[in-house]
Structure 1
Amino acid sequence: MSGTIRRGAALVGLALVSAVTACGTTHENAPGASAGGAPSTRACEGAGGKYTIGMSQANLAEPYRVRMDDDIRKAAAGVPQFTVNFADAAQDNAKQVEQVNTFLTQGIDLLIISPNEATPLTAVVKKAYDQGVPVLVLDRKVDGDGYTSFIGADNVDIGRQAGRYFAEKLLPKGGKVVELKGLAGATPAKERSDGFDQGIAGHGITVVGSADADWLREKGQQQADALLKAHPDAQALFSANDPMAEGARLAAQNAGLGDLPITGIDGLPVPEGGIKAVEAGRLAATFVYPTGGAEAITAAKKLLLDCQQVAKKQTLPTRLVTRANAEQVYAELNRS
C-alpha cells in the first residue's frame, strides 16, 4: 500500500472515530457527568426536553421522609419540564429494589433515592447508574461510588456536635447516658453514634446502654422504656432522631423521670417537629438536618436542563437548636 493510500485510510479512520465520539456520550464527556465520578450516558436535551424523575423513598412512617418528599414536590413544581413519580418502600429493602427496577423499566430520566439500608440497595443503584441514569442519593448512603451525587449532611459531625453538647451543657461533670439508635443497616445510624462517641470522649461520659429503634416514635418509646428500667441511674438520653426522642420522653415520664434531658436530630420546622418540641421543653435540644429535597431538584436541573456536572458529594449544613434559639430558627426556616 502506498504512503498516500495509507494516509488516506488513516484520515478516514480518524473521521469515523470523531463521528462516533460526536454522536455518542462516554463516561468521560457525557453531559451530566459528575465531578469525581462516572456520568450519565444519556444525552441531555436541555431546557426544551421533558423529563421523568423517579423518587424512591425508604419509608413514609418518619415525618422527616414525608418532609423530604414534600420538599422535592415543592421544588419540582417550579420546573415545568419535570414530572416526579414517588414510591414508598415502607422500610422493606426488597420492595425498594423492586420499585427502582420498575422505574428503570418505565424509562425514567433520573433517579432520586433515599435508601432504606445501604448494602441491600447498592446493586440496584449501581445498575441504574451503569445504565446511564443519573442517580442522586439523599441522606442515607450506599456502598461504593456507583451513583452521580450524594446529597446530605455529615452524620458523623452531627453526632459529634451532639456529644459535645452533652459534654459542655448537659453533663459537664460527666455521667451516664443511654442511647437510641436508628435502623442498624442505615448509614446515619452508625455515623451519628460514632460521632457521638467522639464528642463525649475524654469528658467522663459513659453510654451505659443502647438500642436500635428504627427511627420510629413507638419503637423509641418501647426501647427507651427497657433502657431506663435497666439503667435507672441514667442522667440523659441521646436519640438519633426526634421521633424516637419524643417516644423516649413518654417512656421517661412513665418511669417518673420527667426531667431527664433528651436530645434528638432532624429539627423539622413544622408544628409537630423537633424544633417545637425543644421550644415546648420536651427535648433539651435538636439539630436541624436538611432533607436535601430542594437541593436534589437543583442538581437535577443542572444535569438535565443545563447539561452541566454536579459534585460527587454535596454536604448540607446543620444547626444546633436549643430553647434559647428555637423560636428564631423555626421562623427563619419557614421564611426560606
Structure 2
Amino acid sequence: MNRPRKGTFDVRRTITATACLMLAVTACGTTSQNSGKGGPATQAKCEGPGGKYVIGMSQANVAEPYRQRMDDDIRAAAAKVPQFEVKFADAAQDNAKQVSDVENFLTQQVNLLIISPNEATPLTAVVKKAYDKGIPVLVLDRKVDGDSYTSFIGADNRDIGRQAGKYVAEKLLPGGGKLVELKGLPGSTPAQERSEGFHETLGTKVQVVATGVGDWLREKGQQQLDAILKANPEVDVVYAHNDPMAEGAYLAAKAAGRESKIKFIGIDALPIPSGGVKAVEQGRISATFTYPTGGKEAIAAAKTLLVDCKQVEKKQTLPTQLITKENAERVYREANG
C-alpha cells in the first residue's frame, strides 16, 4: 500500500480550504456584502434563478402618499421577479412599532429586509441586528446611524435643499422677503438634510420669520401655517419639506385669504392626480423637486443579491429635478407614458 509522504495530507487540506474560500461567492451559493469599514459581512443565501425568496418591507408610514407610492413601486417591480414574495408592514409613524415589525420579519426568517426608517436613531439597532444576522438590508429613502446595512438607496436630500434655497433666493425673493419653513419629522434624515441644505444657499436677504413641524402630513402642515399666519401676517414664501405639507399650507393661506400673495415650495413631485406635479401645473405650488421612491431600484438590488449572486454598491444616489409651471405638464405626461 502506498502511503502519502509526511506532510502531504496537510498540504492537500490547505489547498482544498483555499479553493473553497476562493469559490465561496459563486460555487458555495452565497454573496458577500462587506460594510467597507471592517464590519461583518452579509451572507445572502443565493440559490440562483431556481430559488424562492421572501422579502420583508418595513414602511415608516403609509399615510403619506409618497410612502404608499413607494410600496406600490415595490409591488410592481417584485411582480416581475417570479422568485420574490414581498411582505409589507406599516409602522404608522411609530418607532417602537417599526422595531417590532422588523423583529417579526427576523422571526419569519426573511431572506432580505427593505426598510424606510421612521427616524434614524431609534431604528439603528434593529437594522444592525438584522445585518449582523447575515440578512441583506436595503435602507430606502431615510438613513440610519452608522453603516451596518448592505446598501442605502435614495436621493441627495441636502442637495435638494440647496436647490430649493437657491430657487427662493434667485427666483422668488431676489430682493429679499419673509419666509416660513415647514419641517418634516425631526428625527428623520431627510428633514434634517433638506433644512441644512436650504439654509446653505438661501443667503441673507431672506428672513425666516417662523418654522413649524408638520411631520410630513398635510393636515399638520395646514395647522402649522394657520397658527403661524396669525402671529406673522406678512409671509411671502412657504418652504415645505414635502408636497402634502405645502398643499396643507396652501389651504391655510386660502382660509386666511392670503393664497394669492404667498408662494409655496414642496418636495416629492409624485406624478399622480393628487401629487406635487399636478399641484404645480394647477398653480397651487410654485415649485417642487422630484424625489424618486427607490422602489424599483430596491427590487433590482434584491435581485442582484439573491438571484444573480452578485454584489451591490453601498450607496445608490437617485436623481432629482426641479418642477415648475414651465415643465410640469410635460413631466407628468412623460411619467405616465
Q: Quick check: TM above 0.5?
A: yes
Tell me if the contact between 2:58 and 2:91 (Cα under 8 Å) persists in the aligned partners: yes
Tell me if the contact between 1:32 and 1:309 (Cα under 8 Å) persists in the aligned partners: yes
Which residue does 1:326 correspond to in 2?
A: 328
Mapped pair 1:94 → 2:91 = no
Aligned mates of 1:43, 1:152 — CA distance in 2: 25
How far the C-alpha of 1:255 sits from its partner, in A, is: 1.9
Instruction: Map Cα deviations across residues 146-168 of structure 1 (whole Å, 9 max, x no partner).
Output: 00000000000001101111011
| Equivalent position SS for 1:41 | strand
Which residue does 1:11 correspond to in 2?
A: 11
Mapped pair 1:273 → 2:275 = yes
For 1:142-153, what aligned pairs fall within 5 Å after superposition? 142-153=144-155
Tell me if the contact between 1:32 and 1:303 (Cα under 8 Å) persists in the aligned partners: no
Which residue does 2:212 correspond to in 1?
A: 211
Which residue does 2:221 correspond to in 1?
A: 220
C-alpha spacing 1:39/1:30, structure 2 compared with 1 (3 Å):
farther
Aligned mates of 1:6, 1:210 — CA distance in 2: 79
Which residue does 1:186 correspond to in 2?
A: 188
Aligned mates of 1:79, 1:35 — CA distance in 2: 27
Aligned mates of 1:212, 1:132 — CA distance in 2: 37
Aligned-pair identity in percent equals 64
Which residue does 2:106 correspond to in 1?
A: 104
Tell me if the contact between 1:278 and 1:285 (Cα under 8 Å) persists in the aligned partners: yes
C-alpha spacing 1:68/1:34, structure 2 compared with 1 (3 Å):
farther
How far the C-alpha of 1:7 sits from its partner, in A, is: 2.9
Which residue does 2:116 correspond to in 1?
A: 114
Greater alpha carbon shift after TM alignment, 45-54 vs 253-262: 253-262
| Equivalent position SS for 1:31 | strand
Which residue does 2:168 correspond to in 1?
A: 166
| Equivalent position SS for 1:246 | helix
Which residue does 1:264 correspond to in 2?
A: 266
Relative to the length of structure 2, the TM-score reads 0.93
Aligned mates of 2:56, 2:259 — CA distance in 1: 44
Tell me if the contact between 2:280 and 2:324 (Cα under 8 Å) persists in the aligned partners: yes
Instruction: Map Cα deviations across residues 268-299 of structure 1 (whole Å, 9 max, x no partner).
Output: 00000010011110111111100000000111
Relative to the length of structure 1, the TM-score reads 0.93
Aligned mates of 1:263, 1:159 — CA distance in 2: 11
Instruction: Map Cα deviations across residues 137-195 of structure 1 (whole Å, 9 max, x no partner).
Output: 11000000000000000000001101111011110111110000000100000100001
Give the number of aligned pairs.
329
C-alpha spacing 1:32/1:272, structure 2 compared with 1 (3 Å):
farther
How far the C-alpha of 1:41 sits from its partner, in A, is: 1.4
1:126 alignment partner AA:
K
| Equivalent position SS for 1:129 | helix
* CA-based RMSD: 2.0
Q: Runs of 5+ in structure 1 lacking a partner?
A: none
Aligned mates of 1:295, 1:33 — CA distance in 2: 17
Which residue does 1:48 correspond to in 2?
A: 50
Tell me if the contact between 1:35 and 1:310 (Cα under 8 Å) persists in the aligned partners: no
Tell me if the contact between 1:177 and 1:237 (Cα under 8 Å) persists in the aligned partners: yes
Tell me if the contact between 2:140 and 2:294 (Cα under 8 Å) persists in the aligned partners: yes
Mapped pair 1:231 → 2:232 = yes
2:307 alignment partner AA:
L
| Equivalent position SS for 2:223 | helix
Aligned mates of 1:261, 1:150 — CA distance in 2: 33
How far the C-alpha of 1:51 sits from its partner, in A, is: 0.4
Aligned mates of 2:32, 2:266 — CA distance in 1: 37
How far the C-alpha of 1:199 sits from its partner, in A, is: 1.8
Tell me if the contact between 1:267 and 1:286 (Cα under 8 Å) persists in the aligned partners: yes
Aligned mates of 1:153, 1:6 — CA distance in 2: 61
Aligned mates of 2:147, 2:208 — CA distance in 1: 33
1:201 alignment partner AA:
G
C-alpha spacing 1:34/1:317, structure 2 compared with 1 (3 Å):
farther
Which residue does 1:78 correspond to in 2?
A: 80
How far the C-alpha of 1:13 sits from its partner, in A, is: 4.8
Which residue does 2:31 correspond to in 1?
A: 31
How far the C-alpha of 1:90 sits from its partner, in A, is: 0.3
How far the C-alpha of 1:220 sits from its partner, in A, is: 0.4
Tell me if the contact between 2:53 and 2:83 (Cα under 8 Å) persists in the aligned partners: yes
Aligned mates of 2:6, 2:110 — CA distance in 1: 46
Aligned mates of 2:315, 2:34 — CA distance in 1: 9
C-alpha spacing 1:124/1:6, structure 2 compared with 1 (3 Å):
farther
Instruction: Map Cα deviations across residues 172-227 of structure 1 (whole Å, 9 max, x no partner).
Output: 1111100000001000001000011012124x112121111100000000011112
